[in-house]
Every structure is written in structure tokens, then in C-alpha cells.
Amino acid sequence: MQIIRPCILLLFSQVLFFCSRAQLSQDLNDWQRLNIYQKENAQLKTEKNLGDRVVFLGNSITDFWIDSSAQFFGDNHFVDRGINGQTSPQLLLRFQQDVVHLNPKAVVLLCGINDIFGNTGPSTQEMIQDNIISMAELARANGIKIILCSVLPVYIYTRKPDLRPSSRIIALNQWIKAYADQSKIPYIDYYNALVDDKGGMKSIFAKDGVHPNKAGYAVMESVALPVIRKLVKKKKS
């Protein structure tokens, strides 16, 4: 057994090495994660579009939202297209597939926090802004109304405790609001509805200081719905 055991450990380490390389290769081949919603998108295209479909595009905050409040999406013809961990360049690269090709009336764009966290490498404020502008222009070029959202407040990110993102979040939100006003784009202010006196999310609304809990999503829905309904008037059946 003493001779066999090192061989087993060596074999196991080689399997892990090749599996990690295969996963890395898969991630690089689909860096924007276009594979995630391909089946759902194909199914959605076969369903009747009443002209009031709205796509929510974003990261984990959007991704987890439908699990917390499926009725919010189902009752309003809202489509959740969030992917955990994504940054604005990844959203831009899948904007055609996960927004434009679904022929929605509008898209609600929430992004930026993972850029600040550096999930896909360092991002300057200008890089985030450029990606948001590009998505807004893509939407308008395809006759889709866009709604821009403030980044949610974060004081401490447990995975990167040395990072203090509050000032960058405030600066980015100021720019998003100014750009929305200048471009006559509706703006949803989640930040001020959720923020505490430290610049983080109120503990009653957050699971981990970053992701809203059910109460947090309820607040976001109360802020978002009036803006969406004003922009997308539901047709009478």
C-alpha cells in the first residue's frame, strides 16, 4: 500500500491538473458565458410576445433576484438574464444574444460592482462608462428602450476585505445618473433606497453586504416598478 499510495496521489493530482486546464479552456472559449441562456432564449422566442417584455441584464444581483421573487418576473413579463460574477464587458458581449434577439420593449441594466471588484481584471471608471454607453447605444439602435440603474451600496466585500469600494460606487452612480439625465434615459436609484450611514447596504436588506435578501429585493421592486411601468405601458388584453 505504501508503494501504491504515492502513485494514486500522483494520478489524482494529474487528473485535477487536466480538469482545471479543461475548465480554464472552457471559460476562455466562452468568457462571456453565452452558453448559459441559449436554451431559455430559444424557448422564449417560441412564446407570444405581447409587446411588454422587459429584460433584466446584470450580474449575481440580477441572477439571484428571480429565485427570491419569481412572481415579480412572471406577473410582469420580465426576463431575468443575470449571470453570477459578470462584469460590464461580459454583459456587452452577450447583449445581442440575451437582449436584442429577445425583442424586448425595454432592458433594465444593472452592472459595475464586479468591475470595481476586479472580477475580470482591473477596470477604470472610464472603461465601465464606455461599456454602459455601448450597451445603451446598442439598445437604442435596435429600438429597445433602456433603463439604467445605480450600483447597490457596498461597504465591505468579505472576499476582499481590504477593498473599500464605497467611494468608487458613489462616483460611478453620479456618472450613471448624469449620463442618464443627459441622454434622457430613465434611471432607477437602488442605492439611496438601500444605503446605511457607512455607505454600505443596510443589514436588514443584505445577506452578505453585497447581495440583497428577500426584503432587499422587495425594496428594489418598489423602486423599479414605477419607472418601468411609466416607460412600458402594458397593452390591454
Say what the pLDDT of residue 218 is.
98
Say what the pLDDT of residue 234 is.
57
Residue 26 belongs to a domain: no
Residues of the chain with pLDDT under 50: 1-26, 235-237
Range(s) of the domain holding residue 123: 36-231
- Cα 27 from Cα 21, distance rounded (Å): 10
- Counting Cα atoms < 13 Å in the Cβ hemisphere of 110 gives 29
Q: Which residue has the cell 445577506?
A: 207
Residue 236 belongs to a domain: no
- Residues 144 and 107 sit within 8 Å (Cβ to Cβ): yes
- Counting Cα atoms < 13 Å in the Cβ hemisphere of 91 gives 37
Residue 138 belongs to a domain: yes
* Cα end-to-end span (Å), the chain: 74
Sheet containing 187-188, strands listed edge to edge, beginning at the edge strand earlier in sequence: 78-82, 54-58, 106-110, 145-149, 187-188
Say what the pLDDT of residue 31 is.
75
Residue 2 belongs to a domain: no
Backbone angles phi, psi at 37, to 5 degrees: -110, 15
Say what the pLDDT of residue 23 is.
38
Residue 85 belongs to a domain: yes
Say what the pLDDT of residue 82 is.
97
Residue 196 belongs to a domain: yes
pLDDT in tens, 126-184: 999 999 999 999 999 999 999 999 999 999 877 777 778 999 999 999 999 999 999 99
Residue 29 belongs to a domain: no
Q: How many domains does the chain have?
A: 1
* CATH code for position 91: 3.40.50.1110
